[in-house]
């Protein structure tokens, strides 16, 4: 006992930095505070599947490699990373005790359950005579900072973002700390491999590994490439699903390899210097959606389970396991939807526009509960975010705060012809349709038989017929929504 109180009372008692969704050394305020204390520093990551929403399969693959990356980045600063498993409010105080830590820092997490645990954790640390400190690294603005004139949270994105952009800009990112050192004794941890984050057999992650390299170094490379090649024309090209015109930075934000403030200022500085005001504003507004989703999660902690719009509690979603499986596996017979869902399975990612179309098809045309889609995305997306994923599904389903009304139903053929006019996206992920001409690539069921024959397509054999007639599905959804609207 005396050892603990002595240790935490001296300046040379080590600082412990708990990592979470902030796998970076750049603009990491918890790390910077530990470094600036002048104490030796140890980093800790606790895999705690009992607190909050455990990451899905694709995110666990990313986490494995992201931890390896941040371990290397920390090692370059002379800081060891200790890996542990278990309940964070028990494990962190235990590690802090064996280290004799004085200062214990971490960055705020978006998951409401994690925040509850962290409140208990802070209590436990204080009771042990240590100094817990929490920082905000995951947001541009503090929770609740963006308010209506009446001091209430916004429920609609556009006024939210207008008010946010009228505030002083988020403060500048912090540089990588200098002069850090490790203590003589570092508590034992687990080997990364023993956390069991990556699939062994079958290894379904090959396509993901081919597409992505987790880590802050790759995030910085992608950001630089986007600023050089992607920002100019972003506003106009971002919806083209067949062209790689988006930044693909979402998983790097999800795991905190890239700080939102670093990204905000990098884009704003470049857009200002290069006269790309509209492109910069459009891109930064996407960060604004991420911010808005976090505000929603703060207000609605059950965001992935409960519709914000209570009218939808009574909505009769269809129980359709066959339709759900067809959607998940990319064999609905609707080319753009199937391309999106196969892209998801292969790469852990879907372009924003294709995401909306695929999600809309499940919720509107198949009338399957948005929560089933949300769970599938949660398990398969490398960027599955505790706030953005459920909030966006509620938006698509029309039951969210700032929801597109339920009656806004995407037509996947029309969307395909507008945003993938050359069929590049469909041909890449649905190769059995590649031989079709552009005029039928998004509607093979309307192609004349000689066109199908020439393309080597046999509907119902080489590629499915639509699981539902689009017009019929649209009318059914509208009718069901009318029932709700009348009953409200």
Q: Which residues bind DNA (CB under 7 A)?
A: 157, 285-286, 289, 352, 356, 404, 407-411, 414-415, 470-471, 474, 478, 482
Distances (CA, A) of 20 to 66, 105, 263, 284, 471: 11, 11, 19, 24, 46
Residue tagged active-site, from 212, 289, 378, 395: 289
Q: Cβ of residue 352: shortest distance to DNA, in angstroms?
A: 6
β-partners of residue 18 are 44, 106
Q: Cβ of residue 421: shortest distance to DNA, in angstroms?
A: 13
* CA separation for the pair 27, 444 (Å, rounded): 50
Which of 227, 282, 233, 277 has its CA nearest to residue 249? Answer: 227
Residue 453 burial (CB count, 10 A): 12
Annotated active-site residue 393? The verdict is yes
**44 vs 396, which CB is nearer to DNA?**
396
β-partners of residue 106 are 18, 134
246 is in an annotated binding site: yes
Q: Cβ of residue 95: shortest distance to DNA, in angstroms?
A: 40
Which of 441, 448, 451, 452 has its CA nearest to residue 417? Answer: 441
Strands of the sheet with 103-107, listed across from one edge: 81-85, 41-47, 15-19, 103-107, 131-135
Distances (CA, A) of 178 to 25, 75, 105, 153, 184: 11, 13, 17, 39, 19
Q: Cβ of residue 478: shortest distance to DNA, in angstroms?
A: 4
Annotated active-site residue 395? The verdict is no
**97 vs 243, which CB is nearer to DNA?**
243
Burial of 18 (0-12, 13-18, 19+ CB in 10 A): buried
248 is in an annotated binding site: yes
Annotated active-site residue 236? The verdict is no
Annotated active-site residue 190? The verdict is no
Annotated active-site residue 61? The verdict is no
406 is in an annotated binding site: no
- Kind of pairing, strands 81-85 and 41-47? parallel
**375 vs 414, which CB is nearer to DNA?**
414
Residue tagged active-site, from 190, 352, 417, 432: 352
283 is in an annotated binding site: yes
Residue tagged active-site, from 370, 376, 378, 445: 370
**255 vs 419, which CB is nearer to DNA?**
419
Annotated active-site residue 289? The verdict is yes
Residue tagged active-site, from 36, 306, 317, 417: 317
Q: Cβ of residue 275: shortest distance to DNA, in angstroms?
A: 22
Residue 436 burial (CB count, 10 A): 25
247 is in an annotated binding site: yes
Beta strands per DSSP E along 33-109: 41-47, 81-85, 103-107
**37 vs 415, which CB is nearer to DNA?**
415
383 is in an annotated binding site: yes
125 is in an annotated binding site: no
Residue tagged active-site, from 393, 395, 411, 445: 393
Task: Could you list the residues known to form a binding site, using ranges.
Answer: 234, 246-250, 283, 383-385
Task: Could you list the residues known to form a binding site for FAD, using ranges.
Answer: 234, 246-250, 283, 383-385
Question: Which positions are annotated as active-site residues?
Answer: 286, 289, 317, 352, 370, 393
């Amino acid at each position: 006992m005396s050892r603990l109180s002595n240790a935490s009372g001296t300046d040379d008692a080590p600082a412990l930095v708990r990592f979470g969704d902030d796998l970076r050394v750049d603009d990491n305020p918890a790390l910077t505070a530990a470094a600036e204390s002048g104490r030796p520093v140890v980093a800790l990551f606790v895999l705690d599947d009992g607190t909050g929403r455990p990451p899905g399969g694709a995110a666990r693959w990313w986490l494995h490699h992201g931890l390896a990356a941040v371990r290397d980045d920390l090692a370059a600063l002379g800081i060891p990373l200790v890996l542990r498993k278990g309940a964070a409010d028990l494990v962190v105080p235990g590690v802090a005790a064996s280290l004799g830590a004085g200062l214990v820092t971490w960055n705020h997490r978006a998951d409401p359950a994690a925040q509850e645990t962290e409140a208990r954790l802070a209590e436990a640390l204080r009771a042990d005579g240590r100094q817990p400190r929490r920082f905000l690294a995951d947001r541009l603005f503090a929770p609740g900072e963006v308010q209506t004139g009446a001091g209430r949270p916004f429920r609609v994105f556009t006024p939210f973002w207008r008010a946010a952009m009228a505030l002083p800009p988020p403060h500048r990112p912090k540089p990588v700390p200098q002069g850090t050192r490790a203590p003589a004794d570092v508590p034992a941890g687990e080997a990364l491999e023993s956390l069991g984050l990556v699939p062994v057999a079958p290894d379904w992650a090959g396509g993901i590994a081919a597409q992505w390299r987790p880590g802050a170094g790759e995030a910085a490379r992608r950001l630089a490439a986007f600023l050089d090649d992607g920002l100019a024309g972003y506003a106009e090209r971002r919806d083209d699903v067949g062209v790689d015109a988006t930044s693909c930075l979402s998983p790097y934000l999800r795991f905190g390899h890239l700080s939102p403030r670093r990204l905000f200022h990098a884009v704003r500085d470049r857009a200002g210097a290069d006269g790309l005001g509209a492109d910069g504003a459009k891109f930064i507004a996407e960060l604004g959606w991420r911010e808005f989703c976090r505000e929603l999660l703060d207000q609605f902690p059950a965001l992935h389970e409960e519709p914000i719009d209570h009218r939808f509690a009574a909505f009769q979603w269809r129980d359709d396991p066959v339709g759900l499986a067809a959607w998940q596996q990319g064999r609905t017979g609707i080319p753009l939807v199937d391309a999106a869902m196969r892209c998801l399975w292969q790469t852990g990612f879907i372009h924003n526009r294709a995401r909306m179309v695929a999600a809309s098809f499940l919720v509107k045309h198949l009338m399957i509960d948005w929560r089933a889609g949300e769970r599938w995305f949660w398990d398969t997306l490398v960027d599955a975010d505790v706030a953005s994923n459920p909030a966006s599904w509620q938006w698509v389903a029309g039951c969210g705060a700032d929801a597109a009304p339920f009656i806004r139903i995407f037509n996947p053929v029309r969307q395909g012809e507008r945003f993938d006019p050359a069929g590049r996206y469909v041909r890449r992920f649905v190769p059995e349709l590649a031989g079709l001409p552009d005029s039928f690539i998004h509607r093979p069921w309307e192609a004349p038989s000689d066109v199908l024959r020439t393309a080597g397509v046999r509907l119902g054999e080489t590629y499915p017929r639509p699981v539902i007639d689009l017009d019929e599905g649209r009318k059914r959804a509208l009718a069901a929504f009318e029932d709700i609207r009348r009953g409200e």
